[in-house]
Structure 1
Amino acid sequence: MAANTEALNKAWKTIVDFLSPGGRPILEVSFPEIQFQSAVDILVQNGIVNIIEDWFFENVQRDIRQRVAPNFWNYYTSTACQGASEWSDNLLKAVQFLHQVSEEYKPSLQRLESISSGTHPKNSLQTFCGVQKLSDVLITLFKAIIFAQVPNGYQEGLDHFYSEAFKVFNDTNSDNKGGGNEEVERQCDGCGENTEVCRCAQIMDRFHTVNRLLDEVGILEEVSGTSATALVHEKIQQHVEAQCKGRFETSFLESLENWLDTKVLGWLNLIYTGNRTHIGADCISSFRGRLQHFLYKTYAQVQINEFFKIIIDFPESAPAVQDLKACLEKTDMRAQLISTLRSSIETRLLHPGVNTSDILTAYISAIRALRVLDPAGVILELVCDPVRKYLRCRDDTVRCIVSSLTDDGSSELLDELIKGQPLVLDESGHSDDEDEDWEKWNPDPVDADPATASKSRRASDIISMLVNIYGSKELFVNEYRTLLADRILTNFNYEIGREIRYLEHLKLRFGESQLHYCEVMLKDVADSKRINARIKEEKAQRNEQDVVEVNSMILSAQFWPAFREEKITLPEEMQKLLEAYTKKFEALKGNRTLQWKSHLGLMNIDIELKDRTINFKVSPVHAAIIMQFQEKNKWTVEELSKTLQMPATALRRKIAYWQSQGLLKEESNDTFVLVEDHRGHTHDYLMTEDDETESAMASTQAQKEEEYQIYWSYIVGMLTNLESLPIERIHSMLRMFTMQGASTMECTIQELKQFLDRKVKEQQLMYSGGVYRLPK
């Protein structure tokens, strides 16, 4: 028994001697190697061969913890206050030390693997922790023990080491290398040193050596992974920002992918090439997929942050929109785009400081750009919903839209109008099954509103979307009538060829019945031209010559919108001219006569002063005021007001025009005198600024008030017969009986509520229990 124990002790001592780091090389096949095999046989015979592996790795862990790790980190802590170059040199020394330790353990690992795999198959060792290769166990211990805790500054130094190598690599492979003046070329772009003492070769040699040794040890990814990943992400972000930010006219995706393959992946290949002992062959290809995704995400983020500018610059920015579309297909940034763009629009566009016309222009550009980005129209629907709500609250939105539809120039809306597509209104109830090509059908994105028809969202053109802000064609037709009337009565031109063209295009959009009143208005203009020519011809035949030539615009009152009213009594000589024209008209038309709008029109007058004669083109009101100064040179506002039967406030506003021309001077408060010595300039003036802002037509508010009075008479009749009604019933009955045809304005239920609440405050209505009733 004692002899067996002594043999076991001797065998164990032999195994310990051979398996300890720095033990005999495995290639030595002399007598001592036979001793090791004999010692293993003894442990096999006693059934305790498995303790060899447990002892070995326990001993390895102790050695790594007590000797290897402290010596490895000592290279960094001892140079904590030194420069980056010294830090990199000590990194090389530390890696060389770790590589030396790994080499010391290799013979022992090979002996263990020979025991477990082939020498004694029936009594082989158990693989440690389920790992098939014992060399992988050593790598795991290196990672677990050495890198469990790292000193301060280690990661920063490692980041600098790889960043410095990337800079040298990028400079070496730069397309612009060698360009520039001699003074700049004295400094190396790679290492930053003078070209005479360039360290690029030294940096790259050290870089390759460190990566090779780390790869042979098996911890290359553990050491370089964080730094390399962070560095390439940083370089991708910097490159995308520098190349793409603010440049929307060019597509960058192809050039970015080419840069990623040549520069970024080229540099990663320098790190992970070599014998690839512990790195899979598909490492770089899988890394490329992740980096490509990060590249798309970074580029998309840059474009999303500037997408408001991209929209404003569209269609010049169409390449940027196409790039972002490709990025959204490969990333999950759709929700971020919607949130960011919606916020940008609300912050930069939807506030009182922006003109309605500018908001409409931006909205139209958004429609065009977002239709390219998302043909399904879902992003457009989600992003522009605040724009539609805001435009609905602005009083001049409809007028701006209609003006853009009919103004001369290269208006985008005018181009849309010429296309002649019919309106697609939300209330028309489109079905996704109607006229749908099922072979080309695609489902809507998951963020689409299920309450909105897909076909309506995809097919609606720009004009239809603008009309759908209000959901009513009548509102736009009424506004066009007002705009057309204003244009006719301010231009004083009988040439209506352009207006006829616009009207024909509008008929295709809104229907002929909606625009019948406008047809009559244009016919009135043509008839007026013919009647004026006929009267002038008859005068010529009778050799009659008036001192002042009168031309009229004869309007069919029931077809024209309400005019702006202004009280004035024209001078007698002007009134006689109008009466003479009326008699000639009655002679032509028999049972018809004229009712003159004395405050509207244009007069071409000559004012004779002491030293000159000045020509003006002004309204009849302005002409009537200046004509009174023929009788006497000084008038008070009160005297003129009585003579012209015109309110004093309106009179002062009109006198201001003649003051600006230097013809009238306020001698004292509300007393004006004629200035004979005129030092001003000859003006060919059509309308005053006040006239331009007021226009010839009644304001929208004035028209609404007139309509409300009509509604009020109907409401009183309803409540007299039915005693009490809720607002919804009142609104539906008004729509049935009064809100019909182009001559009436659309009244929303909110506007009706405001009107009824005003009547409640005036005690003309009572409101209780959700219903309105007349007071008793």
Structure 2
Amino acid sequence: MAAVAPVVSLHEQHPDDLWNKICIAFPVIANEPLMQEYLEEQVLNVLELICQHQLSTFIEDYVVDKIQHITMQKIVPDFWSKFCKRENEMQGFESFRDAVYSVYNSLISFCPVFERLEKLRNISGIHRVVNGENTLLGTFKVIIRSSLLSQLPLNHPKITEDFYRISFKVFCNSDNYVGDQDDSPEDMVHCSGCEQEIGQCQCQSIILVFHEVNQKLIELDLLERLAGEVITSLIHLRIENHVEESCKGSFDTSHISTLEKWLDNVVMGWLRRIFNGSSENVKSEKKTEEAIKKFKQKLAHFLYETYTRTRIEQLFNIIIEYPDSQPAVEDLRICLQKTDLRPYLTQKLQRALETRLLHPGVNTPDILTAYVAAIRALRQLDSSGVLLETVTQPVRQYLRWRDDTVRCVVSSLTEEGPSELADELVRGEALQLDEGVPSDEDTENWEAWNPDPVDADPSKTSKSRRTSDIISMLVNVYGSKELFVNEYRTLLADRLLSQFSYNTEKEIRYLELLKLRFGESQLHYCEVMLKDVYDSKRINAHLDSDPNFNLDKQQFPATAMILSAQFWPPFKEETLELPSFVKEHLQTYTKAFETLKGNRTLCWKPHLGSVTLEIELKDRKLNLTVSPIHATIIWHFQSKNQWTVEELSQIMHVPSTVLRRKIAFWQSQGLLREISTDTFLLVEENPSRSKCPVPAEMVCEDEESESAMASAHDQREEELQVFWSYIVGMLTNLDSMPLERIHQMLKMFASQGPTAVECSLQELRHFLDRKVREHKLLFSGGFYRLPKP
């Protein structure tokens, strides 16, 4: 071994008497224990003798080498041998304790040797740095650390973790018990800290051992190197579990302050006990306090990050429950400022929206409700609006793809009862559309200006993100308020044509609110529609009271809803041949109207409106309000008891598929019965009803409520047909044109005037491609041309 050569050299140069004296002063050289019976005076004489022979450096190096050899060959293997057996946590706790005690006792046994070496240094006047340390005790600690870490066994973290896990558990239980001992159950059998029976509780002894072991590890400078990673891992796990238990499904309470107090009282209280080595009342050194302070900063950041990730995982549910979940949103806003998890939030929330909301299984009203809640919640989360703009981009695209989005939005704006969109409409703010042009107002409060986040879209102004309200954002999904105004016209038309009461007070109120949003010019047609209803009521009252017409005394008294055709949305193209006596009365009404209005006449829509019927059967009498087509069907059964669908279709000029659906209503009322395929018989007496009294009158309204207006898709197709004549003319004169040129010329010539129809580039491409499929256009090399005749 390396330590043998110096011994041989020593014997060759010096007499045995000197060597024996050196072994008396430093018995570790001869592997002997320190002899306490030798007086210090004898030791000092030996040290002086060593200095006289100029052997101080040699002896110091030799003793240090010998101690290092003993450490490597005996102390360290003995330390790690305690980590070999582990059957349970308590055994691991004891093994770690015994290992630390053994290595600390080794330090104690070598302390007299280092004291004598220090005296030798003082006598010889030599000051050296060995292994980076000025003192020999520090040198020994370096030897211990390097030797221990060089022989790490694979299972050492488990034993260390057992020791600190049990200690942490006992520590938490002791604090909880002291604070809540009055609430502790009297019949508790096992201690929740050490899990032993109450009579055999070991918590106090565990805490005592915990302090002693940590004190020894601190003296050896081994605490951070041997147990730092395990302690950090345990604390992180404890923080994660506590955050999950505290915040699971609880969105109506703020948890930040509670978690911060818990971290300071429980976690940091445990750490202070570790670093102080005894109770909390012992005053720590300045270095230890700085280390604890830095550790607390790291743990606080981990706490915020864990809490933020937990809330991000729950963010979809938090948004759905907003505004009840406002405390959770506010917590998340504060935590996002302390962490760098903004990209993680964007990714997770977008994925949650796509998987849980944006699929055909969710109704459009539910998607809109979630979108409105997301607008409110994300506005509180990020006042700049950048997060809202980024996260909800897939939602806006999906809503643009759904055909019924606009109708659902407009219906929510003007529906009865509590509605977030209706409340937004009542506020009466002006509509904010994305213009992308900064205004002078952006620089008014320049002292309070803050830059947008790095993920902001540079093409949009920060003012538009901050000021756009919910209705404005819904309109911006399509980028055009004309689409919403047209949908409102259709919805208003359905409401006015379905109520038959001429009561327009509610609709006038909604119209005035919409004017504040969309402007009066956009809603001029709707004003005319409401005026038509008022005029119709006045005209009907005048004609009924005029003795020259006597309309109220006719066999079939009628009132009409007189509409200005050019201001109302297009109607469905449906035909219906009414009974002759009904047409005669309608003609009489037309003549009376022409007499009143002079140069104006009426064009009747026979399939619209309602008819009040009184039906007398053998066993009952019914009063019903139905549509004209229902009334016409049952009227024909007055002249003949049995009809086929084909016969009714020919005489009524109604398609057979429509008739079958309408006849089902009379079947449900028990008036018609299908005796064979598409053949129906009038049922004047129902045996099942004869046993029970039949009321003299029964009012049954037609439950079917179909829109009388053409669908938005049909209206748009009709509007786009306006462009077709322009396109044919352009291609006739110019032979072939690309899509962009056609779009520019249409904007220049066809999209002018008060009733101009707008068409986006993408919509025009779809329209032209459809014409190509219909063989009305040819497309080649990016150019459209007309087919040759």
TM-score in terms of structure 2 length: 0.91
Which secondary structure does the structure 1 equivalent of 2:602 belong to? coil
1:216-272 Cα offsets, whole Å, 9 max, x none, are: 333223333222211111111111111102100000001111111111111122211
After alignment, is 169-178 or 56-65 more displaced?
Answer: 169-178
CA shift in 2, pair 1:564/1:10, >3 Å: farther
Q: Name the structure 1 match of 2:64.
A: 57
Contact 1:14 1:35 in 2 (8 A): no
1:293-320 Cα offsets, whole Å, 9 max, x none, are: 1111111111011101001111110100
- In 1, distance between residues paired with 2:20 and 2:586? 136
1:410 CA displacement: 1.8
Q: Name the structure 2 match of 1:753.
A: 765
After alignment, is 765-774 or 369-378 more displaced?
Answer: 765-774
- In 2, distance between residues paired with 1:65 and 1:436? 75
Which secondary structure does the structure 2 equivalent of 1:280 belong to? helix
Which secondary structure does the structure 2 equivalent of 1:658 belong to? helix
1:765 CA displacement: 1.5
1:431 CA displacement: 4.6
Q: Name the structure 1 match of 2:6.
A: none
Contact 1:475 1:745 in 2 (8 A): no
Q: Name the structure 1 match of 2:356.
A: 348
Gaps of 5+ in 1: none
C-alpha RMSD of matched pairs (Å): 2.7
- In 2, distance between residues paired with 1:3 and 1:417? 102
Q: Name the structure 2 match of 1:720.
A: 732
In structure 1, which of residues 584, 587, 596 is the aligned counterpart of residue 592 of structure 2? 584
Q: Name the structure 2 match of 1:513.
A: 521
1:497 CA displacement: 1.3
1:686 CA displacement: 4.5
Structure 2 counterpart of 1:545, one-letter code: K
- In 1, distance between residues paired with 2:78 and 2:287? 26
- In 1, distance between residues paired with 2:134 and 2:471? 71
Structure 1 position 263 matched with structure 2 position 266: yes
Structure with more relative contact order (C-alpha pairs < 8 Å, separation 6 or more)? 1
Contact 1:615 1:684 in 2 (8 A): yes
- In 1, distance between residues paired with 2:433 and 2:583? 50
Q: Name the structure 2 match of 1:67.
A: 74
Contact 1:14 1:39 in 2 (8 A): no
Which secondary structure does the structure 2 equivalent of 1:772 belong to? strand
CA shift in 2, pair 1:84/1:29, >3 Å: same
CA shift in 2, pair 1:277/1:550, >3 Å: closer
Q: Name the structure 2 match of 1:31.
A: 41
- In 1, distance between residues paired with 2:698 and 2:405? 34
- In 2, distance between residues paired with 1:232 and 1:632? 89
Q: Name the structure 2 match of 1:93.
A: 98
Q: Name the structure 2 match of 1:463.
A: 471
1:120-178 Cα offsets, whole Å, 9 max, x none, are: 44xx2321133233322222221211232333443222212211122222111114444
| Equivalent residue runs for 1:426-465 within 5 Å | 426-427=434-435, 429-431=437-439, 434-465=442-473
CA shift in 2, pair 1:74/1:449, >3 Å: same
In structure 2, which of residues 125, 128, 146 is the aligned counterpart of residue 126 of structure 1? 128
Contact 1:25 1:107 in 2 (8 A): no
Q: Name the structure 2 match of 1:237.
A: 240
CA shift in 2, pair 1:381/1:9, >3 Å: farther
CA shift in 2, pair 1:461/1:25, >3 Å: farther
1:478 CA displacement: 0.9
Which secondary structure does the structure 1 equivalent of 2:430 belong to? coil
CA shift in 2, pair 1:370/1:64, >3 Å: same
Q: Name the structure 1 match of 2:109.
A: 104
- In 1, distance between residues paired with 2:467 and 2:22? 84
Which secondary structure does the structure 2 equivalent of 1:281 belong to? helix
CA shift in 2, pair 1:364/1:16, >3 Å: farther
Q: Name the structure 1 match of 2:492.
A: 484
CA shift in 2, pair 1:89/1:645, >3 Å: closer
Contact 1:405 1:414 in 2 (8 A): yes
Structure 2 counterpart of 1:189, one-letter code: S
| Equivalent residue runs for 1:301-450 within 5 Å | 301-427=309-435, 429-431=437-439, 434-450=442-458
- In 2, distance between residues paired with 1:20 and 1:443? 74
- In 2, distance between residues paired with 1:27 and 1:267? 45
CA shift in 2, pair 1:583/1:233, >3 Å: same
1:559-598 Cα offsets, whole Å, 9 max, x none, are: 0010012111100122122122212212221111111110
Structure 1 counterpart of 2:197, one-letter code: N
Q: Name the structure 2 match of 1:41.
A: 51
Contact 1:8 1:43 in 2 (8 A): no
Structure 2 counterpart of 1:75, one-letter code: K
In structure 2, which of residues 755, 763, 787 is the aligned counterpart of residue 775 of structure 1? 787
1:466 CA displacement: 1.1
1:504 CA displacement: 1.3
In structure 2, which of residues 215, 221, 226 is the aligned counterpart of residue 223 of structure 1? 226
Structure 1 counterpart of 2:746, one-letter code: L
1:409 CA displacement: 1.7
CA shift in 2, pair 1:49/1:713, >3 Å: same
Structure 1 position 179 matched with structure 2 position 183: yes
Which secondary structure does the structure 2 equivalent of 1:444 belong to? coil
Structure 1 counterpart of 2:144, one-letter code: F
CA shift in 2, pair 1:218/1:36, >3 Å: farther
- In 2, distance between residues paired with 1:12 and 1:331? 66
| Equivalent residue runs for 1:563-578 within 5 Å | 563-578=571-586
Structure 1 counterpart of 2:256, one-letter code: L
Contact 1:704 1:745 in 2 (8 A): no
CA shift in 2, pair 1:543/1:86, >3 Å: closer
Q: Name the structure 2 match of 1:504.
A: 512
Contact 2:318 2:325 in 1 (8 A): yes
Gaps of 5+ in 2: 1-8, 279-283
Structure 2 counterpart of 1:249, one-letter code: D
Aligned residues: 763
Structure 2 counterpart of 1:179, one-letter code: D
Contact 1:26 1:107 in 2 (8 A): no
Contact 2:92 2:162 in 1 (8 A): no
Which secondary structure does the structure 2 equivalent of 1:604 belong to? strand
Q: Name the structure 2 match of 1:630.
A: 638
After alignment, is 88-97 or 403-412 more displaced?
Answer: 88-97
Structure 2 counterpart of 1:91, one-letter code: F
- In 1, distance between residues paired with 2:306 and 2:504? 56
1:474 CA displacement: 1.0
- In 2, distance between residues paired with 1:198 and 1:257? 31
1:743 CA displacement: 5.2
Contact 2:333 2:381 in 1 (8 A): yes
- In 2, distance between residues paired with 1:27 and 1:231? 49
In structure 2, which of residues 1, 25, 32 is the aligned counterpart of residue 18 of structure 1? 25
1:759 CA displacement: 1.9
